[in-house]
Structure 1
C-alpha cells in the first residue's frame, strides 16, 4: 500500500450491495453475519442470519476493483434438536474458501452445529431443438424416406450456476461452532466451539479428531472458553486459539495427538490498578488472525487491537486503542449487552495495515508501523453522495472523501452514537487495497486511491 492509502484522502467508497432505500424495513434474516474474500480476491462471499450464502464475482469489464452478483443459495435451514429441546438457528457463523483446484469453487459454511462443504460450478442447460414430434409432444407422420427423418439435436439454451453440498460434517460439536479454518495443506480444517477444537479431513464427513479439549470434569470449575481458532498460513502443523482469559495459545500437532499442552502462550500481565468489575469481559479476545507471512498475530478484545510477534510471548509489540472513548460507558454497555459484542480484526494483503470495526458503523484502518489511522463510516449517505456528487459522510468544509483530520474521530466520541449499528465483520482483498464491510444488511466496498 502506498503512503497515501493510509492517509486521510486515500480511501474512497466504491460500491454497496443491499437495501439502498429510505425505508428501514430490515428483517433479522437479512443481517450479514460473515464476509470473506477467496484467495484470489476475484470472488467474495457473504453469509446472513437467514442461512443464505451470496457470492459476488469481480467485474472484469471495470478497470477498478468492482464486483457483481454471482449466485445465491440457501446453505442452512433452521433445525430442532429434540434430544436437548433446542432450536438450532440457520445463521451462518463463518465461511471459508478452499483454494481453487479446477473450474468449480469449494467453500465451507457453518451454523452453530453443522458444517457444509459446497461446490459451486457453472452448468450448461441443453434442450432438444429438433425431433420427430409435432409441437414436442404428438408424433409426426412416418417419413416418406430416410432424407425426411429428423435426428434429435441438442442445443445449448443457457448457463446456470449451481451450488450442491458435497459434504455435511455434523454431530461433532456439543457447543456452538464459532470458528473454522482451512489448513495450508488444503486437506484438513479445524472447527472450534467454546470448549473443543476438532480436526477434520475435507474428504471424510463421518469422523473427526478432537485435538483440544478444555472441558473440566466438573462444569462448575469452568473458568475460560475458547473464542477463536486459526491455522498458521504456512506451517500445516501449527494452529492457534484464543481464550476469554485474554491469552492466545499456539499449538503444534507434531507434539501429541491431543494438543492440551501448548507450544507457546501469548499473554500480557494485567495492571492491577486498572482492574474493575468489567475487566474479565472486556479483556476476552473476540478474534485472532495470523499475518499473511505467519510472523505476527493480530488480536482484538473489546477495547484494543494488539499485534504480537510470534517469537515474543510476554507482551504485544503494538497495542492500538479502539474504544478508549467508551471506557466511561461500560455500565451502559453492560446493560444493553453491547459489551459482549465480538468485533473481528483483519490484516491487509501486504501485512502493513490492520482493520477493525466500531459502533455507529465506524471502522478504522491502522498503519502497523506508524499507527497512523483513518476512520471511515459505512453509511448509506456514501452512495447517495456519489450519485449526486456531494460530500461523503463527515465531510465538513467539502474536504476529499469526507475525511477531515480528527473529524470522524471526534464523531466517534459523541453521545449520539447508535450502538445498534456496528461493524463486526470485514474482509480485506488478498492482493489489492479493497475492503468489504458488513453493515447490518448492506455490504460496502471501499478501495484505496
Structure 2
C-alpha cells in the first residue's frame, strides 16, 4: 500500500477458443473403399499418462498405439526441460501391437449369439514395465497384460537349422551342427523320400539343444483373468477404482464390483430390477467411479438422471446419496421426450468436481455439489429436432454418443452425424463452440457464427450453446448424413489432443 492506493488485479477473461489442427490418421479409407463391419472402431481410451492409446473394434480386436514424439527428446523430466524444440510440435503416435481380445460365442441356454465387439476399454495401473488393461464385450470382461519379452532361440543341435521346421526360429554356431544334416535323435533325411535312416555306426556325439536368450524383443499380450457369467444383460460400462484393486461392471439392471485378482466372484452393489418386470421404468445406461474417492461412483439412467452413491452406506446401494436431474419444462413433453433424455455416457472431470453427461441432443455439465440442475447445457445438433420422427424410423435416435472432458476441465467434446464432433468451452463467460470434421482438414466445415451464453445462476454460469438451426442442414450448412456418425472419442489427459473414430479410421487432432 502507498498513499492509500489499492492495487486491483485485472479480471481474467475466459480462455481463447482453440485452433484445432490435424495430427494423424490410422486406417484412412481410400475413395470408394468399402468398410468391413469387423473393422469399425467401437472403443477408444487414453491411459493416465497419455503415452498410450487403445482402440477396440467390432471384430473383437484391441489395437495399442504408443507416443513417439516425447521419446525422441529424452526420457527424463530434466532432459525434456533442457531440450529446445518447437512448442507447436504435435503429438505423434505409432502402432505398437494388437491382439484378439474376444471371439464370437453362442449362449446355448438362451439361444443367443454373443458378438465379439469390444464395448469398453479401460487402462489399469502399470507395473514392471508392463501395460495392463480391461476389455469387455456384451458378456465377458478380460484382464490383459502386454509386455515386451526377449526372444529365446534354440541352438547347439544335431539338426540342420536351414531345414528345421518348428514353432520358433533356430540359431546355432558353426560348430553346433554336424557335417551331415542329421535330424534330432540321430536321424538323417533321405532326399528322395520322407523316410529317415540312421548313418552306419550311428552318430559319434549327440548335442542336446540349448535355449539362448537374444537381445531381440517381442510384444506379448496375455490374458491374466476372465470375468464371466455375472451379467444377464449386455454390459455397457466398466470403470476402474482409484484404489487400483477393484473395478465395476454395469449392465441394464445391475452394477457389480470386482477385485482384479479374483475372477470367480463379484459383489452386486446396485440392482434396479423390479420384482415384476412390467414395472420396469428405467435402466442403467452408464457407470463411472469417482477419480479420487474410491467409495463414490455415479451411474446414469434412461430417464436422464444421474445418481451418486456411496459404497460405505450399505452393501447393496439401493438408495442414492445424490440425484441429479433436470426438471422438464411445462408443456414441452412429446412422444420423443423420454427417448432423447436417455443418457448414453457420463464422465467425471479429473478433479472429481464435475460430471459430464451426454443425451441424444445435448451435453450437460453437472456440479456434484449442486443437484438442482446442470451448470451448463450445450446443444450438440439442435437442427435435428424437427427430424426426430425420421430418426426414430431409422433407429438413429437410439445411437449412443460418448463424451469427454479436457484435462484442465475447461472444455468438453462429443460427436455427431456426418463425422462431425463438437468442442465447447465451459469456463464462465466463454462462447467457444467449435464444430470439426473427422478428416485431414477438420476446420473445413467450421461454423462461423459464435454462440451466446444465456442466463446465469448466482455465481455459477448456466449457459446454453447452440449450433446452426436450419432444419434441412447440419451445423455446417451441409445436408446431414445419418450413416456416418462419430460415436467414440477421447481427450488426452494432459494436453489439448483428441482421438476420434470415424468408422474404421482413427483420427487425431491437436491445438
Q: Which TM-score applies when normalising by structure 2?
A: 0.79
**Contact (CA 8 Å) 2:381, 2:467: kept in 1 or not?**
no
Query: Which residue of the other structure, out of 91, 95, 98, is the alignment partner of 1:69?
Result: 95
Residue of 368, 373, 378 corresponding to 2:438: 378
Select 2:52's aligned residue among 14, 27, 43.
43
For residues 27-48 of structure 1, give each alpha carbon's deviation from its aligned partner in whole angstroms, at most 9, with x where no partner exists: 1111100000011111000000
Q: Are 1:184 and 1:232, in contact at CA under 8 Å, matched by a contact in 2?
A: yes
Q: 1:425 and 1:435 mapped to 2: Cα distance?
A: 11
Contact 2:380–2:467 (Cα < 8 Å) also in 1: no
Q: Contact 2:345/2:402 (CA < 8 Å) preserved in 1?
A: yes
- Mapped to 2, the partners of 1:48 and 1:245 lie a distance apart of 29
Which of 468, 474, 482 is 1:412 aligned to? 474
SS at structure 2 position matched to 1:281: helix
Quote the offset at 1:3 in angstroms.
9.6
CA deviation map 1:48-96 (0-9, x unaligned): 0000000001113385311000001000000000000000010000000
Judging changes above 3 Å, is the alpha-carbon distance between structure 1 residues 3 and 202 closer, same or farther for their aligned structure 2 residues?
farther
- Structure 1 residues 13 and 70: CA distance shift in structure 2, 3 A: same
Residue among 297, 301, 307 paired with 1:249:
307
Q: Which residue does 1:426 correspond to in 2?
A: 489
Query: How many residues of Structure 1 are paired with residues of Structure 2 in the alignment?
Result: 424
Work out whether residues 249 and 255 of structure 2, in 8 Å CA contact, stay in contact via their aligned partners in 1: yes
1:99 to partner: Cα distance: 1.6
Mapped contact 2:358–2:364 kept (Cα < 8 A): yes
Unaligned runs of 5+ in 1: 144-148, 383-391, 396-401
1:100 aligns with 2:126: yes
24, 36, 54: which one aligns with 1:27: 36
Report the Cα offset of residue 320 of structure 1. Answer: 1.0
Q: 1:6, 1:367 within 8 Å by CA — same for their partners in 2?
A: no
The answer on 1:7 being equivalent to 2:67 is no
Preserved CA contact (<8 Å) 2:304 2:341: yes
Aligned positions of 1:342-353 closer than 5 A: 342-353=400-411
Shift of 1:132: 3.4
Q: Assess if the C-alpha contact under 8 Å between 1:120 and 1:163 holds in 2.
A: yes
- In 1: Cα distance, 2:208 partner to 2:388 partner: 79
Structure 2: gaps (5+ residues): 1-11, 74-88, 156-171, 187-201, 451-465
Q: Residue 246 and residue 404 in structure 1: after superposition, are their counterparts in 2 closer, same or farther (change >3 A)? A: closer
* C-alpha separation in 2, matches of 1:309 and 1:47: 31
- Equivalents in 2 of 1:84, 1:312: separation in Å? 44
CA distance in 2, matches of 1:102, 1:125: 18
Cα distance in 1 for residues equivalent to 2:40 and 2:14: 33
Q: 1:258 to 1:124 in 2, by over 3 A?
A: same
In the alignment, the residues of structure 2 paired with residue 80 and residue 36 of structure 1 have an alpha-carbon distance, to the nearest angstrom, of 28
User: How has the CA–CA distance of structure 1 residues 271 and 110 changed in structure 2, closer, same or farther, with 3 Å as cutoff?
Assistant: same
Q: Secondary structure at the match of 1:205?
A: strand
Match for residue 388 of structure 1?
A: none
User: Residue 54 of structure 1 corresponds to which residue in structure 2?
Assistant: 63
Superposed displacement of residue 183, structure 1? 0.1
**Does the CA-based 8 Å contact 2:238-2:248 persist in structure 1?**
yes
CA separation of 1:443 and 1:319: change in aligned 2, threshold 3 A: same
Secondary structure of 1:274's aligned partner: coil
Further displaced range: 126-135 or 294-303: 126-135
How far the C-alpha of 1:158 sits from its partner, in A, is: 2.8
Equivalent residue in structure 2 for 1:357, among 390, 402, 415:
415
Deviation at 1:429, TM superposition (A): 0.8
Q: Which has the higher strand share?
A: 1
RMSD value over aligned CA atoms? 2.4
Separation in structure 2 between the aligned mates of residue 261 and residue 91 of structure 1, nearest angstrom: 33
